[in-house]
Amino acid sequence: MTALLDFVAEAPLVDHHCHGVVTHDPGRDEFERMLTEADMVSPLGVSLFNSLIGLAVRARCAPVLDLPKHAPAQDYLVRRAELGAGEVNRRFLRATGTTDFLLDGGFLPGSLTTTAEFAQLAQARAHDIVRLEQVAEDVVRAGTSAAGFAADFDAELTRRAAGAVGVKSIAAYRVGLELSGTRPAPAEVAAAAGRWLAGIEAGAPVRLADEVLHRHLIWAGVERGLPVQFHVGYGDSDVDLHRCDPLLLTGLLRATRGSGVPILLLHNYPFHRNAAYLAQVFEHVFADVGLCTHNAGFRAPALLAELLELIPFGKLLFSTDAFGLAELYHLGSTLFRQGLSDFLHTALAAGELSEVDAQRLVRLAGHENAARIYRLESR
């Protein structure tokens, strides 16, 4: 790693995909569970601090809490508890240099800060991203019918999207990304809703997992002209990773390219090179390497460099996908800056770009692309 270039260190960021933070002091087991995508700390393994992200916490987060670099994990957790969740959250969020956070509040919403609470902690602007599947599931819980589902969903999405800057699909978690590019007909939607409701009547959980309905939700988002985010690749144990390659979206991307609606491919690891290809060949596709950035620790710059092999600079965005722990915002932002700086150091030393070019790349990836796509200037 190289020393941060000044214009990288000072660049404002827009975190275009993240979640809220917890407001209590987690114990060690809970802290480690939230540190990675693992559901639990394995009784057969060792501490998750013994990983690249664990090392990154001790190296990059400890000094923010007034500890020496590489402080032992237990010392770190003791100091964290001494300061309290509020102070810890404020320190890490405000240290990111982020002006705008785009929050997906659809996962475990009761356990995290609200958008307004988050904005106050971060002393920054916070905007809502509407999770499409959450809207559909809430509509079902409120009571609907097979014939009425489409209209009920449409009305509720309109209400929630009124103040939002984008929508998000988690089809990857539920049915994979091999989605047809055809918009489902009303009769198909009603039939699929009927199957879903019948399953719930028979005792199944209210969990949407129907390819037709996921497509219906996505097209409803496109119809509203809002940017549509897709979870892609890396996630927790609920995802079948082999079904999450963004190349599986090719048919849907072809079908939506005339809509003028941006499609945002989130996370993407280990398919980030495929995402870069799609962002290059489809004018409405954009990508990031959020989530894997902080999980990869000091190897994060290599992932960002691989994404930059093909992706046009105007298609690259920054995100952390941080959830729960404020440390993840700090790690995501510092490692993104480190990755950009290392990449640009190499290119500048080789004479492959000018400093003006380098500064333009940082502005685009750090904040200008997101501000343009999500129309943040008008907010």
Same structural domain, 239 and 362: yes
What are the two backbone dihedrals, phi and then psi, of residue 107, each rounded to the nearest 5 degrees? -110, 120
Domain assignment of residue 185, yes or no: yes
Same structural domain, 114 and 157: yes
Per the structure, the count of domains in the chain is 2
Q: What local confidence, expressed as pLDDT, does residue 341 receive? A: 98
Same structural domain, 304 and 190: yes
Q: What is the pLDDT of residues 320-370, one digit of tens each?
A: 999 999 999 999 999 999 999 999 999 999 999 999 999 999 999 999 999
Q: What is the pLDDT of residues 73-113, one digit of tens each?
A: 999 999 999 999 999 999 999 999 999 999 998 777 778 99
Q: Contact, 165 vs 189, CB < 8 A?
A: no
- Candidates 358, 268, 351; CA nearest to 317 is 268
- HSE on the CB side for 215, CA within 13 Å? 22
Burial of 232 (0-12, 13-18, 19+ CB in 10 A): buried
Q: What local confidence, expressed as pLDDT, does residue 110 receive? A: 77
Q: Contact, 337 vs 300, CB < 8 A?
A: no
Same structural domain, 18 and 60: no
- Kindly state the average pLDDT of the residues 162-186: 97
* Domain final residue pick, 83, 100, 129: 83
Same structural domain, 162 and 65: no
Same structural domain, 19 and 40: no
Domain assignment of residue 177, yes or no: yes
Tokens for 376, please give them. Answer: 């943040």
pLDDT > 80? residue 229: yes
- HSE on the CB side for 267, CA within 13 Å? 24
Same structural domain, 262 and 286: yes
Rounded Cα distance between 160 and 379, Å, is: 16
Domain assignment of residue 281, yes or no: yes
Give the C-alpha distances (Å, rounded to integers) separating 143 from 131, 135, 200, 212, 253. Answer: 19, 13, 12, 20, 33
Same structural domain, 77 and 109: no
Q: Which helix (H) or strand (E) holds 53?
A: helix 52-56
Is the torsion defined by CA of 14, 19, 22, 23 positive or negative?
positive
Domain assignment of residue 1, yes or no: no
- Candidates 347, 273, 340; CA nearest to 310 is 273
Non-local (6+) Cβ contacts of 357 within 8 A are none
Angle between helices 85-94 and 326-349 (to 10 degrees): 20
Give the C-alpha distances (Å, rounded to integers) separating 298 from 292, 303, 331. Answer: 11, 10, 10
Give the C-alpha distances (Å, rounded to integers) separating 169 from 64, 87, 191, 218, 252. Answer: 35, 33, 21, 7, 13
CATH number at residue 167: 3.20.20.140
Tokens for 299, please give them. Answer: 């190897």
Same structural domain, 78 and 11: no
Task: Provide the percentage of residues in the chain whose pLDDT is more than 90.
Answer: 93
* Domain final residue pick, 40, 55, 83: 83
pLDDT > 90? residue 39: no
Domain assignment of residue 271, yes or no: yes
Same structural domain, 152 and 213: yes
Q: What is the pLDDT of residues 118-129, one digit of tens each?
A: 999 999 999 999
Q: What is the pLDDT of residues 316-333, one digit of tens each?
A: 999 999 999 999 999 999
Same structural domain, 266 and 360: yes
Residue owning tokens 């990111």 = 96
Same structural domain, 48 and 10: no
Domain that holds residue 335: 6-25+85-378
Q: Does the pTM of the predicted model rise above 0.85?
A: yes
